[in-house]
């Protein structure tokens, strides 16, 4: 039997996902028509004999209640629960704290998945690979552009066996373009190693500096556990060639949205909007919530998600919503407006002949530098932002409840 843990963190940090996380906790933010962590759940539900998914974090208890009720209907074969850390215990601390819950029912192995990623989740491939070696952990790896690798956990593996020889968390200088995706499969026996990691940390603290500082209660999966596992030849990598994205900044929700929509286009086209008589002009992969109203004159796509109760109004030329737009709950959109590479928050209004646009995301970075000035590639409108007629908002982040009567470029509007 298998289980899984989704690490969701908590509300105390995470400034990078603002302003969208001011209204919904990041793990529940909708991407391609479903909360970020529902994509995790739907992949886990495809694994035979996976019985339970534990969401571990330090959000209030009620934050995941509706999500769990929904999961019980949608995925009746898995039991989903939320376990709350009394404080941030670190990426391995929560897992150790709730070890009795994880081990209840004697699972042979369990997945651990970070909430803040979008991925094709090749979980069956990981299980198959894991059964062929004698390690305690198989982690999912992917190649990223060389200049972006040091933002991740980097690893060097033996090509013939996939055994990880070196693991370095966010190295200062380049060591490898093969990085850890934040998806792990652990043998249940790993808990003795986690206990050893915890003891090592305590001993090191007592020997070195206990007079000067309080012990750091957080146990880090990466530095405290993966590193010793690799030194003990117990860590293996399963490299994916399929899509993987990290969701850190609000703008990074846009490429994640596009990746999931393209995945649906290939394997589950029934989830996507279809072009039919009298419907808007749909280009490529587009998701439209059943409760949204879109005027037939609009042009939408590719890679657009339109959320519940959005209203896309009538336009003389039709609305041109092209390329990687992620729209959520737009209250009203009027003639001739255009939205590109943007996230439009709940209950925002875009006036006639207005433009809300960003630039395409390059690789894994959501910032662009032009003439030495760094700005956001994706334009983000927070909740209840109103863009007046004929206004242009380009490469901006706009906080909730703003009324924009003038055009802005490369700014954070508070
Ligand atoms: N429950 C719980 N408790 N979850 C936590 C805690 C904690 O104290 N701290 C972080 N998390 C969750 C976050 O919500 C996120 O889903 C995940 O753990 C990892 O978050 P970070 O600790 O911010 O790490 P990172 O995202 O910068 O880097 C990690 O992920 C990369 C892949 O996305 C590392 O594991 C890298 O090695 C890896 O490449
Ligand atoms: P920053 O450097 O400030 O972005 O901090 P960080 O590295 O902690 O950011 P990260 O995106 O990893 O967020 C940590 C956890 O906090 C994640 O699990 C998020 O789900 C959660 N989180 C991020 N932003 C917010 C927020 O504004 N509100 C709430 N409620 N939770 C958030």
Exposed (0-12), middle (13-18) or buried (19+): which is 266, by Cβ within 10 Å?
exposed
pLDDT digits (tens, 9 = 90+) for 262-300: 999 999 999 999 888 877 888 889 999 988 888 887 888
19 cis-preceded (ω within 30 degrees of 0): yes
- pLDDT tens digits, 125-153: 999 999 999 899 999 999 999 999 999 99
pLDDT tens-digit map of 24-83? 899 999 999 999 999 999 999 999 999 999 999 999 999 999 999 999 999 999 999 999
The CB density around residue 414, as the number of other CB atoms within 10 Å, is 8
Q: Before 302, cis peptide (omega within 30)?
A: yes
Residues 401 and 385: beta-carbon distance below 8 Å: yes
How remote is the CA of residue 177 from the centroid of ligand 2, in Å?
Answer: 25
Asked if the model's pLDDT at residue 10 lies above 60, the reply is: yes
Question: Residue 277's pLDDT is what?
Answer: 81
Ligand 1 site residues, Cβ closer than 6 angstroms: 7-9, 56-57, 85, 88-91, 94, 114-117, 152-153, 169, 179-182, 218, 222, 246
Q: Mean of the pLDDT values across residues 89-112?
A: 96
Angle at 261 between CA 35 and CA 50, to 5 degrees: 55
Residue 114's alpha-carbon distances to 4, 37, 271, in angstroms, are 11, 9, 25
What number is the average pLDDT over the span 353-360?
A: 88
Query: How many Cβ atoms from other residues are within 10 Å of residue 79's Cβ?
Result: 15
Local structure of 130: helix, strand or coil = helix
Higher per-residue pLDDT: 102 or 307: 102
206: Cβ–Cβ under 8 A, 6 or more apart, which residues? none
**ipTM value for the complex:** 0.80
- The residue whose CA has the least distance to atom 22 of ligand 1 is 91
pLDDT, tens digit, 9 for 90 and up, residues 190-247: 999 999 988 888 887 676 665 556 566 789 999 999 999 999 999 999 999 999 999 9
151: Cβ below 6 Å to ligand 2?
no
For residue 81, give every residue at least 6 positions away whose Cβ sits within 8 Å of its Cβ, in sequence order, or none.
52, 53, 54, 55, 68, 101
CA of 171 to the centre of ligand 2 (A): 22
Whole-model pTM: value is: 0.90
The domains located in the chain, with CATH, are: 2-246 (3.90.550.10), 256-413 (2.160.10)
Mutate to test the pocket of ligand 2, among 26, 246, 251 (most ligand atoms within 8 A of CB): 26
Nearest to 329 by CA among 316, 344, 339: 344
Span 147-190, pLDDT tens digits? 999 999 999 999 999 999 999 999 999 999 999 999 999 999 99
**261 pLDDT above the threshold of 50:** yes
Give me the DSSP letters along 261-291.
HHHHHHH-GGGS----TTS-EE-SSEEE-TT
Q: What is the mean pLDDT of the chain?
A: 89
């Amino acid at each position: 039997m298998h289980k899984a843990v989704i690490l969701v963190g908590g509300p105390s940090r995470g400034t990078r996902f603002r302003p969208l996380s001011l209204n919904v906790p990041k793990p529940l933010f909708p991407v391609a028509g479903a909360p970020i962590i529902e994509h995790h759940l739907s992949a886990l539900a495809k694994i035979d004999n996976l019985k339970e998914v534990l969401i571990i974090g330090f959000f209030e208890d009620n934050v995941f209640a509706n999500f769990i009720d929904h999961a019980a209907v949608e995925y009746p074969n898995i039991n989903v629960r939320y376990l709350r850390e009394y404080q941030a215990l670190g990426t391995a601390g929560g897992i150790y704290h709730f070890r009795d819950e994880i081990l209840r029912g004697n699972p042979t192995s369990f997945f651990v998945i970070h909430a803040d990623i979008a991925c094709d989740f090749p979980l069956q491939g990981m299980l198959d690979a894991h059964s062929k070696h004698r390690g305690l952990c198989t982690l999912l790896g992917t190649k990223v552009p060389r200049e972006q690798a040091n933002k991740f956990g980097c690893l060097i593996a033996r090509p013939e066996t996939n055994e990880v020889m070196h693991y370095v968390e966010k190295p200062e200088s380049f060591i490898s373009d093969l990085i850890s995706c934040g998806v792990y499969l652990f043998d249940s026996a790993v808990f003795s190693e986690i206990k050893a990691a915890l003891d090592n940390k305590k001993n090191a603290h007592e020997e070195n500096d206990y007079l000067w500082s309080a012990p750091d209660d957080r146990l880090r999966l990466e530095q405290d556990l993966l590193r010793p596992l690799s030194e003990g030849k117990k860590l293996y990598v399963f490299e994916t060639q399929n899509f993987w994205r990290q969701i850190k900044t609000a703008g990074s929700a846009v490429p994640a949205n596009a990746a999931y929509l393209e995945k649906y286009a290939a394997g589950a086209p029934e989830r996507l909007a279809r072009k039919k008589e009298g419907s808007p002009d749909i280009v490529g992969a587009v998701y439209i919530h059943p409760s949204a109203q879109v005027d037939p004159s609009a042009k939408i796509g590719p890679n657009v998600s339109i959320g519940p109760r959005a209203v896309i109004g009538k336009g003389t030329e039709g609305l041109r919503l092209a390329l990687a737009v992620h729209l959520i709950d737009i209250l009203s959109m009027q003639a001739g407006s255009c939205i590109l590479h943007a996230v439009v928050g709940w209950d925002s209004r875009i006036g006639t002949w207005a433009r809300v646009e960003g630039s395409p995301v390059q690789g894994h970075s959501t910032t662009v530098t032009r003439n030495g000035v760094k700005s956001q590639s994706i334009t983000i409108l927070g909740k209840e932002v109103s863009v007046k007629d004929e206004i242009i908002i380009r490469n901006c982040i706009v906080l909730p409840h703003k009324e924009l009567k003038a055009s802005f470029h490369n700014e954070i509007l508070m």
